[in-house]
Chain A
């Protein structure tokens, strides 16, 4: 592997294995995600795609193997961090978009986005200003004070995208980000997610079963029975 390639790796997985009881969810996965890439992880139900996302993002620790995240202060072995360390890593280095947004219903759109910054210790006022900037960039100017229940599914997912990126994460993880949306809204949200990640020079890992979503990413990794069966670049 060339040094140039190594320099560009944002996230590296080596022989990552995860078992739940007698079931092997991941069986020695190797994967390099380059900085600025958008990677779609695909596979049928039970193929291990969500478990891979959880291992890469430090939500669970793999039973075997290594996960290394490149940060501004050097590479971090995610797999060797304890629960508190992984939680801090997620807060400070990663962003997340979930299937149904999972935004806090009592908070307004701007408060939901600012929450990610406040969790990192930012002052509320500054956090809300930055959050409002992100909401405006995603086409939600004027909706900052709306509750989540007052937004459409697509708008709520845009709030989730803003929340995932407001804290300038190294990598954004998205778990079926358009799973709860119709096809038109899904395309709009995916375009916004990709454009916002690309414009900020960040890396995106999307777990999806939707071929249309995968086709919008720069690379598609397919899993079967916990192992990578194909890895192809869709576009440069």
Chain B
């Protein structure tokens, strides 16, 4: 017992010392905390919103619950990307210090304990703040109407979930840190985070064609079936299509980046495209949720628009379904973009720290901070815009007649959904611009 205490007391003291010093450069410490705050607040709010649908037990409730479950699944990808970004940011800030400690003779156990303490501590701190944000946002979210009435008291999750959330987030951060730390413990000389571009095998293309064709046919057949079965087929088709997009996404990002790299005329675009071509998987992980949402928004938005247009023929509780699908879709799009924007900002900040020496040297060569920022923005925005357009086009092709009819019968709904996608892209641009002070701080001599 005393040996164990001795083994953890030293790393705990060192961690506390380093954390206290860490506040001297708040961006490196506050950023992961802020990211975990966003992850926790948005996750809890999404789960609470979905949870509120379980208060109904009539026939239509199943459709609502399936749609809520679908929204949660849609949001899982960007939320997991954000959590991963936050964990990586705090890990990257630590890597160098921990490698140095290893070189100075710290044991792997001490380094591991320090890393786990710091990661889970920052994550838990962020998660506690996230719970508070979730509670503060409650009165606003409670006003959102579904089935003709505000969510109201059904929004509140059981108290134990709010107590457990920081522990779960802290644990997940510790696991993530443990995985990234494995490399530091093995090699005190540091780590590289870039991954090679994935090759596209013919099998992937064949799988993609088969799945998309099957989805197309299934969506055609879904019309004549009941609401619940129809929605189940729709969601299944979506899940399959999204899996395919996820499979092809990194490859398409890589192809586009290599083409941009060959044709880039400005140094900013050349740097951006070369960076993306080198790590298309990492770029897709950051922005992939947006094209997936563009895809889903077009199909579901068109479906909702058609249902709203034929509203007059429906009575009873089903009459709220079209508006509610539209409301749910808009909330999902907005939340998802917020998460992606946070994730992009955290990654961009982490990258500035990672490449501080290189950015400083480019600045010394005469590259202005504005040029550097433009290049960093392009490395996210160019693939984001391309992939969002492609995702939206893929959705339009999949539900071609549906989109045409929706545009004719209820153009406002379709345009609102598309406007949300465009606004989301702009939010990501604003989030990137928000990391300008981080770049300025490392360029200062």
Contact = CB atoms under 8 A, between A and B. Distances in A.
Given A102-B357, A111-B270, A124-B264, A119 B278 contact: no
Interface in A101-138: 102, 104-107, 111, 115-116, 118-120, 123-124
Contact of A87 (B265, B277, B366): B366
Contact of A106 (B265, B266, B278, B361): B278
Contacts of B368: 84, 87
Contacts of A92: 366
B267 A91 contact: no
B278 A98 contact: no
A69 B402 CA distance: 68
A90 B366 contact: yes
Interface string B258-283: 00000011110011001101100000
Nearest to B359: A102
B366 to A, nearest CB: 2
B21 interface: no
B445 A104 contact: no
B364 interface: yes
Contact of A96 (B266, B274, B275, B361): B361
Chain B binding surface SS class: helix
Centre residue among A59, A104, A115, A120 by max chain B CB count within 10 A: A104
Interface string A63-86: 000000000000000000000100
A109 to B, nearest CB: 13
Given A59-B445, A104-B358, A124-B264, A119 B367 contact: yes
Nearest to A120: B366
B199 interface: no
A59 B366 contact: no
Interface string B363-383: 111111001000000000000
Given A54-B445, A102-B358, A123-B265, A115 B366 contact: no
Contacts of B275: 106
Contacts, number: 64
Contacts of B363: 87
A96 B271 contact: no
A98 B445 contact: no
A115 B357 CA distance: 17
A59 B271 contact: no
Interface in B231-269: 264-267
Centre residue among A57, A88, A119 by max chain B CB count within 10 A: A119
B267 A118 contact: yes
Contact of B365 (A84, A90, A124): A90
Given A87-B366, A92-B366, A115 B277 contact: no
Nearest to B368: A87
A104 B357 contact: no
B274 A106 contact: yes
A84 B443 CA distance: 13
Contacts of A87: 363, 366-368
Contacts of B365: 90-91, 96, 115-116, 119, 163
Contacts of A98: 361, 364
Contacts of A105: 278, 358
Nearest to B371: A119
Nearest to A123: B265
Contact of A115 (B270, B278, B364): B270
Interface string A182-202: 000000000000000000000
Given A59-B364, A87-B368, A111-B270, 16 more contacts: A84-B368, A87-B367, A90-B364, A91-B365, A91-B367, A92-B366, A94-B366, A96-B361, A98-B364, A102-B357, A104-B274, A104-B362, A106-B275, A106-B277, A115-B365, A119-B267
15 contacts: A84-B368, A87-B363, A87-B367, A89-B366, A92-B366, A96-B361, A98-B361, A106-B274, A107-B271, A115-B267, A118-B270, A120-B366, A124-B265, A124-B270, A163-B365
Interface of A: 54, 57, 59-60, 84, 87-92, 94, 96, 98, 100, 102, 104-107, 111, 115-116, 118-120, 123-124, 163
